[in-house]
Amino acid sequence: MRIHETTLSGVKVLELKLYEDNRGYFKEIHRNAWSDDLGLVSDFVQDNISMSYQGTIRGLHYQKEKPQAKLIQCISGCILDVAVDLRKKSSTFGQYYSTVLSEKNHKQLYIPEGFAHGFSVLSEQAIVHYKCSRYHDNASERGIRWDDPLIHIDWEISKPILSEKDRRLPLFSSLKEEDIFL
């Protein structure tokens, strides 16, 4: 496995090692020892899988009172995965990092606590698997609008499919102090 630092401190891209032969391939997708060696959260407590259609945007979501680190991979199809820095004291506060995750590139994105997360579906459909360091908590849910003009994310899609909940998320500029990580 190879690890790549990104423009946002703590956000990392992991390139998994494939073992290929005439039957196909095998890859390890998580090992606690990797987390220890790389300084990542190793105590993931919840695994989620979502299936979404082309043009879907999910996000940008985060939990404030019970923040989550996430390890994301696309196991079928292709997505643009996005992390937005919500750590007020960070030099990259309000900035985002995006990368393509797909069944073909075998990459994972690690996002520590203090970030919002979202993705857009670039293929006909995509199945996304993500590990979380804390359980989902409705009372702690927060979010930022996908089309925020200050963050200005290029989602690489023209006609987004959104949930009603995601359409109603606030703009970054309207977040209150209690909605960000100090």
Task: Check if 61 is active-site.
Answer: yes
Torsion angles phi and psi, residue 145, rounded to 5: -60, 140
Name the active-site residue from 62, 96, 110, 130: 130
Task: Check if 130 is active-site.
Answer: yes
Torsion angles phi and psi, residue 118, rounded to 5: -160, 170
Name the active-site residue from 30, 61, 106, 117: 61
Residues with active-site annotation: 61, 130
